[in-house]
Structure 1
Amino acid sequence: MNRERPALTDLTAFAAIASHRSFRQAADELGVSASALSHTMKALEERVGVRLLHRTTRSVAPTEAGAALLERLRPILTDLDDALGAVDGFRTGLRGTLRINAGESAARILMRKAVPRFLAEHPDMHVDLVTDGRLVDIVAEGFDAGVRLGESVPQDMVGVRFGGPARFVAIVSPRYLKKRPAPRSPSDLLQHACIRYRMQSGKIYRWELEKRGRSVAVDVQGPVTLDRDDLMVDAATDGLGIAFVPELAAEQSLASGKVVAVLEEWCPRFPGLMLYYPGHRHVPPALRAFVDVLKEVEPEVRAGRQSKKASPDR
């Protein structure tokens, strides 16, 4: 049936009244008088041919038809606000907070180039970068984007790769090697003190090694179990044993000679990090701008690291 479509302002007024369940509060939000809203609602109900609100002297509540309309109308108005916000961002510049959840190693990469460049280009923005070993539900926990290994990213997300290939490295202090010969194969690890890693699930990580297509998972033993890469590097530096950590976490200690790499032929590189965000909704202007910056700095990140390829969290 053909029917003249209600004005957007009328639908917005209805949504405000039904959400607040108050003409006065809706009027305050919209900057109009309560009597004007009352006339608007009367005209809207006449146009759609059905009562949308129950009114008494003390309360306002949507009818069954009104509740159904409100449920469908809310996401439409939200999408419209997002679209207008995206356009407004080109006029006024970006403002607000961009929330990103990332593992420790990924956060280090972002802080080297992408975040400083983004803030320099958009000085009214604030970046809330949360480091977390868990693979969180970024939508449920209020993040705009997450950063993890590509293989860990949910399939319904849009992803942007950055940072180049990644790998884990087995590291040990020269002091430790004065007492024990370096391992030459994964099986040799069973004769060594190793620093174990506890995953967020509570399980102990089995070292995953690979050489020429042959994969081996080793359940190492040792004097200490930790749940942070930086602590594992410290433990290896102090001579407590061999640690298996993201290369980025260990690169400074490797460069200074505090630790050395062993079993390097068993530590191949693999596709690295991915920034990801929901693919089913409008991309906020700030996130779109951050993705653009990430793509801009990608060549600089790769050139700066060269052989020191970064690696993600487990």
Structure 2
Amino acid sequence: MKTGDLGELAAFVAIAEEGGFRRAAARLNLTASTLSHSLRSLEQKLGVRLVNRTTRTVSLTEAGHALLAQIGPAFASIETAVETMNDFRDHPAGTIRLSVPRTIVARVLTPKFRAFADLYSDVTLEIAAENGFVDIVKQGFDAGIRLGESLDRDMVAVRVTPDLRTAVVASPEYLSRFSPPETPRDLHRHRCIGWRQTGSGALYRWEFEKDGRALNVAVNGPLVLDDPDLMLGAALEGVGLAYATEQYMGGHLASGRLIRVLEDWCPSYPGFFLYYPSRRQSPAALRALVDVLRIPSA
């Protein structure tokens, strides 16, 4: 087998695993046209079509699935072997791709960027800030950060925030016009700022708990958003009640710009965790990031 054949096979594996030319090109730091040319060359040499292409989708043929099943594990082993070379460096190196909610980028990662860059100057962090849950393996990320309650059991999970607690808040001006709710069932009389969950597209039902009794309330109101920071901003402007996390409200509660209601109904829950697949050896650069972000278990 020629060296060029290995490159074409690597291009095929990337296209198959990423599900498209654009993401595969980003993963290999090549252009989409270069990948397309490599795939055509490989198909001509093998005499079979490996990929079905349309303007929007890429799917494997039966032959493509068979080839990926044979060579995919081999290329994964090669990547792992190459990554172990980082163990022989004074400092880890390479690029780490992370999928992280936008609010966590600002509140957890940004304050630690400088320290990480100073310690590990040969590591590049590439962060996709997106609120929806993604399949980090399928989309080529090294790791992600999400709420602990939403992680699969086969993932390695490292705590990066303390336990969190929910809060229902509104501006003083709003509460001067509308009497504060006494129980979650009173929310139907209020203007509530809805949260459209990225990914599923569902409207989030506000979760409450008191004395072992749990309630999930479908709220209504004049505004639906898909970003917690935007919801907080709308609450500050007096649009209505917002359901948020008390730890990420800054000084708004302390300053009185926001006021809590239904506090005795708002439970705590596990915070955010950095997670990555347990079935592969973690890169040295990722282990370095874990060391910087990890906090003691609550």
- Could you tell me whether the CA contact under 8 Å between 2:86 and 2:93 is conserved in 1? no
1:1-314 matches, within 5 Å, as 14=1, 16=3, 18-19=5-6, 75-76=73-74, 78-80=76-78, 82-200=80-198, 201-295=200-294, 298=295
Cα 1:71–1:18, aligned 2, differ >3 Å: closer, same or farther?
farther
Cα 1:209–1:239, aligned 2, differ >3 Å: closer, same or farther?
same
Cα 1:90–1:218, aligned 2, differ >3 Å: closer, same or farther?
same
Between the two proteins, the alignment pairs up a number of residues equal to 244
Runs of 5+ consecutive residues of structure 1 not aligned to the other structure:
1-13, 22-58, 63-67, 303-314
* SS of aligned partner of 2:99: strand
Cα 1:213–1:79, aligned 2, differ >3 Å: closer, same or farther?
same
Deviations 1:89-138 (A, max 9, x none): 43252232211111123223432544332222101222112221111011
Deviations 1:130-183 (A, max 9, x none): 221111011121211011111111222111122110122101000111112211
Cα 1:77–1:177, aligned 2, differ >3 Å: closer, same or farther?
closer
Cα 1:272–1:74, aligned 2, differ >3 Å: closer, same or farther?
closer
Distance 1:172 1:182 in 2: 9
Distance 2:197 2:70 in 1: 42
Distance 2:183 2:79 in 1: 59
Structural RMSD (CA): 2.8
Normalising by structure 2, report the TM-score.
Answer: 0.73
Percentage of identical aligned residues = 39
Distance 1:144 1:134 in 2: 17
Deviation at 1:71, TM superposition (A): 7.1
> Which residue matches 2:21?
none
Distance 1:160 1:194 in 2: 34
* SS of aligned partner of 2:233: helix
Cα 1:91–1:261, aligned 2, differ >3 Å: closer, same or farther?
same
Distance 1:219 1:60 in 2: 58
Distance 2:231 2:277 in 1: 33
- Could you tell me whether the CA contact under 8 Å between 1:79 and 1:282 is conserved in 2? no
Cα 1:283–1:172, aligned 2, differ >3 Å: closer, same or farther?
same
Which amino acid is the alignment partner of residue 260 of structure 1? I
Runs of 5+ consecutive residues of structure 2 not aligned to the other structure:
9-43, 48-65
* SS of aligned partner of 1:254: helix
Deviations 1:208-260 (A, max 9, x none): 11112111111212111111111111111111111101224423322332111
